Amino acid sequence: MKRFKYSETFQHYIRLPLYLIPIFIIVDILLYLYDHTRMGNMFTMLLVAYTIIVIILYVVNKKSIDRSLVNFAIGYATVQKSILENLDIPYALITKDGRFLWMNDAFENVTGKTKKYSKSITSIFPQITKEKLNGCKVGEATTFSIEFEEMFYKVGIHVYEAQIMQKGDMIGFEEGANTVYALVLYDETKEKALELAYREREMVAILVYIDNYEEILDAVDTVRLSVIKAVIERKIYKYFQDKKALVRKTDRDRYIVFSDRKGLEMMEADNFAILEQIKTTNVSKDVQATLSIGIGTSADDYMQNHEYAKAAIDMALGRGGSQAVIKEGDEISYYGEYGKEKEKTTRVKARVKAQALRELMQTRDDVIIMGHAISDVDAFGAAIGIYCAAHALGKQAHIVLNDVTSSLRPIVETFSKENGYPDNMFIDSPTALVMQEKNTLVVVVDTNRPSYTECPELIERSESIVVFDHHRNRKETINNTLLSYIEPYASSTCEMVTEMFPYFSEKIELTTQEADALYAGILIDTNNFMTKTGVRTFEAAAFLKRNGAEVTRVRKLLREDMSAYKAKAEIVRHAQVYKDAFAISEYSGENIESPTIIGAQAANELLNIVGIKASFVLTQYNNKVYISSRSIDEINVQELMEELGGGGHLNMAGAQVKDASLDEVKQMIIDVIDKATEEGTDK
């Protein structure tokens, strides 16, 4: 055990008389050197006496000084302990292994324990574990929130290294340290209650659209129409007013609703019962009234909430309608029906979008068009259609096409200089970025996800963006578009672009190459008119046929080479059947120029096997695993692919998975199938 140690400053202070002795000795020597012998003798006698007295006093009073300092420290510590003891804030000291050393009265009152309690703090607060304590660092305050007996506390933990020793009435320090945790509890119950109250009163913007208002108008006579409209309106007003929300009609088929968060929670609790209530409205045998609801919340201001609501209603409509979508920042929640898209019989939307696109193109200097990466026939055909529209207005247009796959190359080669097309009709991403100017219109086709496009940077830099797509909206969408035309009911983007031509300009005249490209896009995405076809699909095909599309010529353009055909056959041959209904196959993508397209075609082929309800083909390409999933009618493959970050349609979807092997992705698919089967979502 070591002696009590003073601070360095205090040690110098009490040793000052000793420090003067060498100085006096030097003075005495100087007196002798300058022949002041008598004065030197006298000074020597005084110096000896001074030295003896100082040493005696230092030795005699050392213990007394030590004792006085210790008593002062003890008294000071006693005052501190008394203050902590009576402090209104709960305070406790804890050892490194989490056991209590000491707690004040306030801590006793909160926990119901006494100062003799020496068990682990985890026995009182399970949230405060030894691992959490060990994560605290000396000199850093660690804070986190806990709940205890219906009260909320913010926990503050400070770490100290205690080096304490005691000998009799002497207290000192020794080498070696013990870790001590000082724990403080700050009552946050009132703050939490205020936060909850504020959250319950947070404004929520809600947009309500009647999905099929035009169909309702056509389905009933004038006499019944007014009654049906009144019934639908009364149900909408009653439902939202019961939730203490303000409802205002903004158009014949649209409403805006203002509610608070508490009202929204009530709607979520009944799963937006208004969706089913509207369906019970007796319209006609063939037409059923449905609603779509878009909700925006948790934004910094009311305007942003309204923007969230607009994005949410677009998602609801894009996913087939008859559902509610909540956009809370980046989080998206879905409620209600998640079913098949219904074909719209009216072309009003196509006409409106065509006129809007025309106006945008007329005010821009040039147009850059691009589809998704690893472009397929639908994306290419739609890009050709937009190119024709721009050309009809006399605008310079370019199509971003980085890689041309083997299946696409025969169609691309028809747009050659010999056939009258410019050399810069097709450009790569770097060239597009150089060409892009402030007044350039960027048109994206066959995707609404920026990361999937040929050149995502082009979107980031552009202030003028138009989107044409037939896939359902996802969380990741292209924002700040001047025009967004997304119709999941459409068979293909080529169909959407084709039916827009009659309303765009009378000057549009398609060449055989252009008509063939658009027709091929429809043909591929409908699997030779076998899936997702409606009346408008065949009308679009008929329009292209009248403008020069030739079925035989298109069929020749879409023929596969022998290696690709063999690869597709191998994928089908090695497919494994899971749960007697799901065909899963893997493909390494070796020695094939466009393996992802081969995988998609193989997924279609697997559906021709008896008993297969859904197919999944995994293709490894460019450090990603691409999943092509298909179904006929019983399985919603879009839901399954959304679990893996993808999307698409009810019976045609896909996903891309990074940093994973084929076996890992295969297991992911099996897990998703198991989950869907257990929840019954595959029905």
* Least-confidence region, from 4-13, 123-132, 304-313: 4-13
Q: What is the DSSP string of 317-362?
A: HHTTSSEEEEEETTEEEEEE-----------HHHHHHHHHHHHHHH
Question: Considering only CA atoms, which of 446, 501, 437, 450 is closest in space to residue 477?
Answer: 450
Position of tokens 């985890």? Answer: 122
d(C-alpha 125, C-alpha 103), whole Å: 15
pLDDT band, residue 67 (cuts 50/70/90): low
How far lies 310's CA from each of 4, 205, 339, 444, in Å?
74, 9, 21, 20
* Mean pLDDT on 593-615: 87
Classify residue 211 as exposed, middle or buried by CB count within 10 Å of its CB (0-12, 13-18, 19+): buried
* pLDDT score, position 346: 54
pLDDT band, residue 168 (cuts 50/70/90): very low
Residue 63 in this model has a pLDDT that exceeds 80: no
pLDDT band, residue 575 (cuts 50/70/90): very high
d(C-alpha 656, C-alpha 651), whole Å: 17
* pLDDT score, position 169: 38
* Mean pLDDT on 139-152: 84
* Mean pLDDT on 344-350: 64
pLDDT band, residue 176 (cuts 50/70/90): very low
Four-CA torsion 392, 396, 400, 401, nearest 10 degrees: 70
Name the token pair of 385: 């259609």
d(C-alpha 613, C-alpha 164), whole Å: 74
* pLDDT score, position 84: 65
From first CA to last CA, the distance across the chain in angstroms is 79
* Mean pLDDT on 610-627: 90
Cβ-based neighbour number of residue 454 at 10 Å: 25
* pLDDT score, position 102: 80
The rounded Cα 539 to chain-centroid distance in angstroms is 40
Q: Hey, which of 224-238, 322-336, 463-477 has the most confident mean pLDDT?
A: 224-238
Residue 588 in this model has a pLDDT that exceeds 50: yes
* pLDDT score, position 299: 86
Name the token pair of 26: 């030097």
Count Cα atoms within 13 angstroms, Cβ side, for 224.
10
Residue 136 in this model has a pLDDT that exceeds 50: yes
| Residues 446 and 372 sit within 8 Å (Cβ to Cβ) | yes
* pLDDT score, position 76: 56
Long-range contacts of 154-157 (CB under 8 A, 24+ apart): 154/185, 154/186, 154/188, 155/125, 155/128, 155/183, 155/184, 155/185, 155/186, 156/183, 156/184, 156/185, 156/186, 157/133, 157/181, 157/182, 157/183, 157/184
Question: Considering only CA atoms, which of 606, 609, 611, 608 is closest in space to residue 584?
Answer: 606
Average pLDDT, the chain: 84
Handedness of CA 511, 514, 520, 525 (dihedral sign): negative
pLDDT band, residue 519 (cuts 50/70/90): very high
Name the token pair of 587: 């493909």
Which domains can be identified in the chain, with CATH numbers? 8-84 (no CATH), 88-195 (3.30.450.20), 201-336 (3.30.70.270), 348-557 (3.90.1640.10), 563-679 (3.10.310.30)
* Mean pLDDT on 432-440: 92
* Position with higher pLDDT, 666 vs 171: 666
d(C-alpha 540, C-alpha 499), whole Å: 6
* Position with higher pLDDT, 374 vs 616: 616
232-243 pLDDT, tens digit each: 999 999 999 999
Residue 451 in this model has a pLDDT that exceeds 70: yes
* pLDDT score, position 62: 72
* Position with higher pLDDT, 615 vs 298: 615
User: Please, which residues bridge with residue 260 across strands?
Assistant: 203
368-394 pLDDT, tens digit each: 999 998 888 999 999 999 999 999 999
Long-range contacts of 282-286 (CB under 8 A, 24+ apart): 282/228, 283/216, 283/219, 283/220, 283/228, 284/219, 284/220, 286/219
* Position with higher pLDDT, 491 vs 681: 491
